[in-house]
């Protein structure tokens, strides 16, 4: 048995030396068994290298293994432990289960137990204890030696968690750390190891448990060789360690010392170290050879920079990644390199991964990102977790839709859309509603043309997934049963096939990494299910606990992705990635905080905690000071990997606009190489490739079209267009973008045939629809022609409070009329009762349980009740002051108008519902007053009436007169007033005359015929000179003339308004039938324009900045100025 260290600097050929040694030993005697132990990332590459170097082209008696596979090699011979091997996921699950049993005993670490990451944090600490041979009993001693009370409490909790974890594992499970202990225990039984030569290569250092395993191999194997990075200077003694030593290779020295002091000196022959002192890697590159020799050494030598090292200062991370791609492609083109000849190291993979991937994809650079993927956002994980959330929250809408939108649900996209609209509109919540067929309310049934059977078919398909798993509700059940039923859902839903199909689609799109994730995630999930069933299957868990357990399990799963192309760029980080020799190396993010790494909280055990434990003689993972020197070793190993060129860059500004400073490494390099300057790329625009040229062209074209491009920008624009036109598909791209840039809106109409198919020759239309057409023809076309509408939302406020208010007033009014009463003569208590009954009846027609569905709708119901009581009370007061009696409530009318001109036979039927028509019977005359209820304040605006924006009141008045004539054919029917009443419950700050002030705010406004009989019939107080009405906007002067500001007009003016409205309505109807649909929104002011509340802007694309688009102005206000 012999031990020999092979030492040398980066590029000295350590790996080549031991590979050659292994091949020589293997070929010299076929009975020799050679074990090559290398890091996990190097196993395949090492096998490849060995096979290619072997004279026979194969490695029959050479096994290449990772450290984790070494125990299994021995167990194959001597038998393996009966206990199941726990991975990180299994550890977390057992920790969570054990912690739940001692939760009340934990004094500080019980906080956050519900979080998915908590178990992972505890697992990391316990794994660290195991790796460094710290037992629960050892923690008692450390607790006594610690001075920090907070640390004592933390260690006490960790001891409890450690003990319960060991108990959970007892006789059933074994961790990877314990596997090495088992390996050490069983290794003496191995006969093969006695004849084996074991070589450890590629490691920068070992944990204490790994060192114990190496020593066990050393005491058993024929020979052991271990490579370590070390200084090529022979004067530096690798076996001499001084106190507080901070040399670059301190980790090597300590590892060698730990191994040397553990082996059995009686049976092991320590051979002289093999020192490899020549730098083969950089023998043709003096600058990089000097870097290898002097980096982080104390010598003050300096040489002249020759261009092998380049440092670039960039504006931000995004431009740093962009400039890297430019530099990388330039090097590959000019030096005829392959992508595999180059590597990229990110000093902070978290911040650089996305922007770097974006630019690598843009420039179609094949790359392999050396990073394990979390599956947290994978559709399968979302699918499973949404099942638990649906059960946990009793089929909450957002959980149902999250399940359906995973991409692997049983419904098609259009079915999901339809179901989503339905459940939001009808407030479908709770399993009870999903179990039964959906039904329309009586009101909906009359308005809806879609058969309910279709949506019920979709409902049944969805609920079929949950039919079996919902049998037991949310009660606690054995975990194995939960898992079995979720697995059954995956099977019945053909989820494996769907995931495979999605992976194939991703592969076709060139997204190989994502495709591998989708291919591998199903098996990972099934492995988790198996582990859960084995570990915790016989214990009872609620749905909430099931969800939490699954989240813990999923949070620990990582899917590895292998390179998909032989010639691809390797992208990795400073410590995880094991680089082999490369021609050129690019290092991104050389900023302070990345190199060296910023101080972290250290997890459950902070940096100060570890410092104190070190004083208590507890050796755990390196402290921050030790890590700084270890990090220097990783920096040294990475910076010395390239043979030809090293490129470093750093950003000046972070993603949040924070200022960044360069790493101390930049200054070290500047001091080592005379003339090495940092290239300032702050204002540099990366050399433009096609995609960039297109982006730049779009911006320049925008400047050109708006007339603000200067001569230089114009020339650049035309040059870019020439370049793009010469590329594949460039001609078409240029045509499209130029066409869009010079786009001018031109008003268009439907052709006669299309318009006729859509509307026919007979148009039946409401007055409000005509007003919409007058506000904007295109909005009318989309809303009524194409029948597009906003998704309906369930709730009292979304059932159209205005319609509901109208219906309540109609119901109450008709009931009172049947009893020969009205709002002014009925008892207030009786009216309140009628209002409550009407609300209950009418909301039931919309949705039966609407009023009690949740607190929000209950509030709206109370608000509606309050407003209705105020409205009925005020309307009664207004009636009581005059001579009018309600004649009609919600009176419907339809009137045909001939629109024909020439040979066409076009007609329109105007329809509407008059909210209330009151009549004053004066012998042989009937005076008519109409009230139109509005949910907010309105007034008659003659300009808007002429534009067709305010037709309703006038047209309703004209039709009300005709309806009254039909009822009273023997009398002359005359118009008296057309008024708007705002259905509101206003607030008054007046303590005195509170009711009077409220009534004043609710006085209806509109147009009243200036006739004494009319005015006095509306309010008898207007008989008196100087009177001011409390029920209409009219007051008299002392001479009994009508005061200025009163809502009055002459009979001729009143009739003129009615005729104008009817003529405008016919004109608008004619335009609708003609197929006019130009985008022509009206604009009066910022608060009053067609676009203010319009939801169709994303469809019409109206923009006053685009030629041809403009508002139809009703005033002199300029939209642009007014908007600002």
What is residue 174's three-state secondary structure? strand
Same topology, domains 379-559 and 796-1069? Answer is no
- CATH number assigned to the domain covering 379-559: 1.10.486
Domain ranges of the chain: 2-82+178-276, 96-170, 286-372+563-680, 379-559, 690-741, 796-1069
Q: Per-residue pLDDT tens for 552-604?
A: 888 888 776 666 677 889 998 887 787 888 999 999 999 998 888 765 555 78
Class of domain 286-372+563-680: alpha beta
**pLDDT tier for residue 100 given thresholds of 50, 70 and 90:** confident
Q: What is the mean pLDDT of the chain?
A: 87
Tokens linked to 99: 């912690």
Distance CA 168, CA 174 (A): 10
Q: Per-residue pLDDT tens for 823-835?
A: 888 888 888 888 8
- CATH number assigned to the domain covering 796-1069: 3.90.320
Pairing of strands 269-270, 2-8: parallel
What is residue 772's three-state secondary structure? helix
Could you tell me how many residues make up the chain?
1124
In terms of Cα–Cα distance, which of 805, 786, 783 is closest to 796?
805
Mean per-residue pLDDT, 139-154? 87
At 1106 the pLDDT is: 76
Q: Per-residue pLDDT tens for 927-977?
A: 999 999 998 888 899 899 999 999 999 999 999 999 999 999 999 999 999
Distance CA 247, CA 283 (A): 25
Distance CA 125, CA 82 (A): 26
In terms of Cα–Cα distance, which of 881, 987, 964 is closest to 918?
964
Do residues 480 and 533 touch, judged by C-beta distance below 8 A? yes
How many degrees, rounded to 5, is the angle at CA 494 between CA 490 and CA 497?
A: 120
At 286 the pLDDT is: 94
Distance CA 132, CA 1053 (A): 99
Calculate the alpha carbon distances from 36 to 26, 58, 191 in Å: 12, 14, 18
Backbone angles phi, psi at 885, to 5 degrees: -125, 140
Distance CA 329, CA 327 (A): 6
| Location of structure tokens 């300032």 | 680
Residues 6 or more apart from 1113 whose CB is under 8 A from it? 1082, 1083, 1084, 1119
pLDDT at 459 over 60: yes
Q: Per-residue pLDDT tens for 1097-1120?
A: 888 888 887 778 889 988 776 775
Query: Most confidently modeled of 79-88, 869-878, 1083-1092?
Result: 869-878
CB-neighbour burial class of residue 689 (10 A; exposed 0-12, middle 13-18, buried 19+): middle
pLDDT at 781 over 80: yes
At 395 the pLDDT is: 93
Output 961-969 pairs: Cβ under 8 A, ≥24 positions apart. Answer: 961/928, 962/893, 962/895, 963/888, 963/891, 963/893, 963/914, 963/917, 964/887, 964/888, 964/917, 964/919, 964/926, 964/928, 967/887, 968/926
Peptide bond into 596 cis (omega under 30): yes
Sign of CA dihedral 844, 847, 848, 854: negative
Sign of CA dihedral 209, 629, 150, 88: negative
Do residues 741 and 1105 touch, judged by C-beta distance below 8 A? no
**pLDDT tier for residue 1122 given thresholds of 50, 70 and 90:** very low
Which bin fits 364, alpha (ψ -120 to 50), beta or left (φ > 0)? left
Do residues 648 and 587 touch, judged by C-beta distance below 8 A? yes
Cβ-based neighbour number of residue 585 at 10 Å:
24
Distance CA 224, CA 197 (A): 6
In terms of Cα–Cα distance, which of 248, 190, 237 is closest to 217?
190
Tokens linked to 805: 């208010």
Element (H, E) at 1009: strand 1005-1009
What is residue 621's three-state secondary structure? coil
pLDDT at 622 over 80: no
CB-neighbour burial class of residue 503 (10 A; exposed 0-12, middle 13-18, buried 19+): buried
Class of domain 2-82+178-276: alpha beta
CB-neighbour burial class of residue 729 (10 A; exposed 0-12, middle 13-18, buried 19+): exposed
| Location of structure tokens 């992976």 | 503
Do residues 590 and 649 touch, judged by C-beta distance below 8 A? yes
């Amino acid at each position: 048995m012999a031990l020999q260290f092979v030492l040398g600097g980066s590029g000295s050929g350590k790996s080549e030396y031991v590979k050659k040694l292994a091949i020589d030993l293997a070929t010299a005697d076929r009975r020799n068994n050679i074990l090559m132990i290398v890091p996990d990332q190097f196993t395949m590459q090492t096998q490849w290298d060995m096979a290619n170097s072997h004279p026979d082209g194969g490695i029959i008696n050479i096994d290449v293994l990772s450290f984790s596979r070494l125990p299994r090699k021995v167990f194959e011979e001597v038998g393996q432990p009966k206990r199941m091997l726990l991975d990180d996921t299994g550890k977390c699950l057992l920790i969570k289960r054990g912690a739940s049993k001692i939760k009340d005993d934990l004094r500080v670490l019980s906080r956050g137990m519900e979080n998915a990451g908590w178990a992972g944090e505890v697992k990391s600490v316990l794994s660290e204890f195991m790796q460094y041979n710290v037992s629960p009993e050892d923690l008692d001693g450390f607790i006594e030696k610690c001075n920090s009370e907070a640390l004592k409490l933390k260690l006490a909790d960790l001891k409890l968690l450690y003990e319960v974890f060991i108990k959970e594992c007892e006789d059933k499970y074994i961790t990877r750390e314990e596997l090495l202990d088992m390996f050490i225990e069983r290794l003496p039984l191995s006969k093969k190891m006695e004849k084996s030569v074991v070589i450890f290569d590629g490691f920068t250092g070992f944990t204490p448990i790994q060192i114990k395993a190496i020593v066990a191999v050393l005491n058993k194997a024929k020979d052991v060789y271990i490579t370590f990075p070390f200084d090529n200077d022979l004067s530096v003694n690798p076996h001499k360690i001084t106190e507080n030593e901070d040399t670059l290779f301190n980790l090597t020295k300590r590892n060698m010392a730990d191994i040397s002091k553990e082996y059995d000196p009686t049976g092991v022959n320590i051979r002289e170290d093999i020192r490899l002192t020549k730098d083969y890697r950089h023998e043709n590159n003096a600058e990089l050879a000097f870097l290898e020799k002097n980096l982080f050494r104390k010598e003050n030598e300096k040489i002249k920079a020759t261009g092998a090292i380049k440092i670039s200062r960039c504006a931000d991370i995004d431009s740093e990644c962009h400039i890297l791609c430019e530099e990388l492609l330039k090097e590959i083109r000019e030096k005829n390199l392959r992508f595999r000849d180059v590597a990229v190291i990110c000093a902070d993979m978290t911040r650089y991964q996305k922007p770097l991937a974006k630019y690598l994809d843009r420039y179609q650079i094949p790359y392999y990102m050396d990073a394990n993927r979390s599956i947290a956002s994978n559709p399968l994980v979302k699918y499973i977790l949404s099942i638990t959330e649906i059960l946990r929250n009793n089929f909450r809408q957002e959980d149902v839709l999250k399940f359906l939108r995973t991409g692997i649900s049983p419904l098609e996209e259009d079915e999901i859309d339809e179901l989503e609209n339905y459940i939001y509109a009808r407030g479908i919540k709770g399993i009870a509603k999903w179990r039964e067929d959906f039904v329309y309310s009586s009101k909906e049934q009359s308005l809806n043309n879609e058969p309910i059977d279709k949506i019920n078919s979709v409902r049944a398909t969805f609920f079929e997934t949950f039919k079996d798993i919902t049998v037991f509700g949310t009660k606690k059940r054995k975990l194995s049963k939960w898992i079995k039923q979720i697995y059954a859902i995956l099977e019945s839903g053909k989820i494996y096939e769907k995931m495979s199909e999605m992976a194939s689609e991703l592969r076709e799109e060139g997204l190989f990494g994502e495709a591998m994730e989708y291919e591998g995630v199903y098996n990972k999930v099934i492995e988790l299910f198996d582990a859960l069933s084995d570990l915790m299957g016989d214990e009872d868990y609620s749905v909430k606990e099931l969800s939490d357990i699954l989240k813990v399990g999923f949070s620990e799963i990582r899917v590895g992705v292998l390179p998909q192309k032989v010639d691809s760029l390797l992208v990795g980080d400073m410590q995880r990635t094991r680089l082999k020799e490369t021609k050129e190396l690019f290092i991104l993010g050389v900023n302070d905080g990345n190199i060296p790494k910023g101080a972290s909280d250290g997890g459950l055990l902070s940096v100060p905690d570890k410092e104190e434990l070190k004083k208590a003689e507890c050796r755990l993972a390196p402290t921050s000071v030790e890590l700084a020197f270890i990090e220097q070793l990783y920096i040294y190993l990475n910076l010395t990997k390239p043979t030809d060129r090293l490129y470093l860059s750093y950003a000046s500004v972070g993603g949040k606009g924070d200022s960044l400073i360069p790493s101390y490494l930049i200054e070290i390099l500047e001091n080592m190489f005379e003339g090495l300057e940092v290239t300032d790329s702050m204002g540099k625009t990366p050399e433009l490739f096609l995609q960039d040229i297109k982006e730049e062209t779009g911006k320049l074209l925008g400047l050109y079209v708006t007339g603000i491009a200067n001569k230089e920008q114009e020339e650049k624009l035309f040059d870019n267009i020439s370049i793009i036109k010469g590329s594949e598909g460039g001609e078409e791209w240029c045509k499209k973008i130029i066409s869009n840039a010079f786009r001018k809106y031109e008003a268009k109409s439907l052709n006669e045939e299309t318009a006729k198919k859509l509307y026919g020759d007979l148009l039946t239309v409401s007055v409000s629809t005509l007003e919409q057409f007058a506000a904007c023809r295109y909005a009318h076309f989309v809303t009524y022609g194409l029948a597009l509408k906003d998704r309906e939302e369930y709730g009292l406020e979304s059932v159209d409070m205005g319609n509901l208010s109208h219906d309540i007033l109609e119901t109450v009014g008709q009931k009172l009329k049947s009893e020969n009463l009205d709002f002014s003569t009925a008892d207030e208590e009786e009216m309140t009762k009628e209002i409550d009954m009407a609300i209950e009846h009418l909301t039931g027609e919309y949705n039966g349980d609407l009023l009690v569905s949740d607190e929000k709708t209950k509030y709206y119901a109370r608000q509606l009740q309050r407003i209705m009581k105020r409205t009925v009370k005020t309307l009664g007061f207004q009636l009581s002051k005059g001579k009018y009696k309600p004649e009609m409530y919600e009176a419907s009318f339809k009137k045909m108008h001939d629109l024909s001109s020439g040979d066409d036979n076009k007609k329109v039927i105007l329809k509407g519902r008059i909210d209330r028509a009151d009549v004053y019977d004066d012998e042989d005359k009937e005076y008519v007053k109409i009230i139109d209820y509005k949910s907010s304040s309105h007034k008659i605006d003659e300009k808007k009436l002429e534009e067709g924006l305010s037709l309703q009141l006038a047209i309703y008045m004209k039709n009300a007169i005709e309806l009254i004539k039909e009822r009273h054919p023997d009398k002359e029917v005359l118009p008296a007033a057309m008024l708007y009443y705002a259905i509101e419950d206003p607030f008054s700050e007046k303590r005195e005359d509170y009711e009077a002030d409220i009534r004043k705010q609710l006085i209806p406004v509109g147009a009243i015929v200036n006739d004494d009989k009319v005015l006095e019939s509306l309010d008898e107080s207007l008989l008196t000179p100087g009177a001011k009405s409390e029920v209409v906007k009219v007051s008299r002067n002392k001479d009994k003339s009508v005061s200025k500001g009163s809502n009055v007009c002459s009979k001729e003016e009143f009739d003129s308004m009615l005729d104008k409205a009817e003529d405008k309505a016919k004109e608008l109807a004619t335009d609708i039938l003609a197929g006019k649909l130009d985008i022509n929104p009206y604009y009066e002011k910022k608060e009053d324009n067609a676009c203010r509340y319009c939801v169709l802007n994303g469809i019409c694309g109206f923009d006053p900045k685009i030629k041809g688009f403009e508002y139809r102005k009703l005033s002199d206000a300029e939209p642009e100025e007014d908007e600002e």
